[in-house]
Structure 1
Amino acid sequence: MLIPALLLLSTDGAKAINLMFAPGDVFVSLESGAVQWRLPDGTLNRILVGTVPGTGEGMGFDAGGNLYVTRWCTEPWCQTRESVATDTVEVFGTLGQPQGTFGSGYDCAPHAIVFDAAGTTAYVGQAGCTGAILKFAPGQSPIAFTVAPDTQGSFWIDLAADACTIFYTSWGPNVKRFDGCAGVQLPDFNVAPMPGGATQDLRVLPDGGVLVSSGQVIARLSASGALVQTYEVAEPGFWAGLDLVGDGTFWAANYETSNVYKFDLTTGTVLSSFNAGTAPHTVVGVRVKK
């Protein structure tokens, strides 16, 4: 049976909703564990509620378009469910349905996940315990990369186009790097401490630079690691998740206010925004379906 990707509801005004994950859709993870599935303009489409307890943290898509959400469990309500795996990665199918967990060998606090360009090999950053980055390649046992931390392991991660260099942040003043092919630590990417101190999510840009959430601002680094631009809004800020749309714009989540903004990468202009409808300090990750 063919399932339509788009449904038009007739209410007071017609409203289109996606039944399947579609390019441009925006996904926002919440501290509660739920994930907001929004249309490209930021309109709420659905809320994904999983079966694995824990917070909603970083997200990524595999080659089949399935959504992966990292989870850790620190609250008593979560730890009492001993029959369900915690500190893991939960998978949602392309219709938004929970499909269980992914991977094994997490020691604690998996926080970020990214796939290679083929969408088949996953890397998971861990904020606690060893702070190692785990590599999951098809048909192979997980490989743990011991990386140098600032304060919080491999808190957020991204993979460069060479499929070897892993960029990561550790809730400190740096954008750090590790060569996953050679298995060696690389020098920090930034040539000076980041302006906001507490670095969070990051994306490698097509020009070799990096876009980084950095406290009150979002910072853009050149291919040589120099600060070339900052982005901010007129409200208290502590930027968390961000992702590139692919058309010269990006979405970013302000953890301080639970507002999510779309910026023009070149000009810094705010193009649109929405509030998650949740309390401050509840919006974490942002991922755009490509």
Structure 2
Amino acid sequence: MFAAPNLKWNEPAIPEFDPKTFPVLLEKLGRANCHAFLCRRCEWTEEIPPPWKKVFGKPDDHRALWIISNRSMDARAENTTGFGEIRRLPIYDDHEITPASKFQVIMVGPPTALYYRDLFAHRLGTTTADRGFLLLLDGQVMTAFGIFIQDFRQFRTNYLPEMFGITRSSKRYHRLGMLFMLLLTSGEMKKRLCDILKLWRHEPRGIQTTSIMVHEEGKTDRGVLKVVSRETLDDGRFRIIYGGDFRNDSFAHVVSGRLKKHGDRTRA
């Protein structure tokens, strides 16, 4: 495990690293009375057993390089690929969401929004979004989303076109992305986006988004928005446009309602 012969673990006793015993290593260090970090190269979708948490991710063409920690911390993601200035912010560490949880919307440069998008969902391709945003949960990045504001500013539409919205996967909560969609279409989100984008004279009516899917509808989008149009592509997939008006509720009201209805529904 160590390159130098004079370095060794005190406790727990761990011999030289053997890939075959990696699960045992995870279990031992997970219970160790220390703050341990491990470097793990694996598939982007591979789950990490508790209490380990992913605290750093580096994009790669095929597999992910993760730094995992056995203790909760301000998880930070940093990009070194050179495609723009990236804001280093904590990543949502799957802690419990309560009525006291604080949600914050911040506008960031498209490179930052795209970095977190690609960190949460690998290799999604290009986008026409010209405004990037992060939804923070208790100061940690839960969702990266982007909006194409030009059509709205030029009065081509009364809806804000959401070009992408990717929520960090959660072991604790079932369909955390649905919570984001409910927050995105809330009255408080409208107010915050109008303040950030200075849309005081011409306020948006709601949110519109487009999805390319193999199914005729998507559960998350369809659960909050209505289908505006559906087009069958040459490869058999569907291009579906969803839309919906902003409601008049607050973030706190959305979270309270979601917790009452689905707060005890977790992933198996």
TM-score of the pair, normalised by structure 1: 0.31
Which is richer in strand?
Answer: 1
Which is richer in helix?
Answer: 2
TM-score of the pair, normalised by structure 2: 0.33
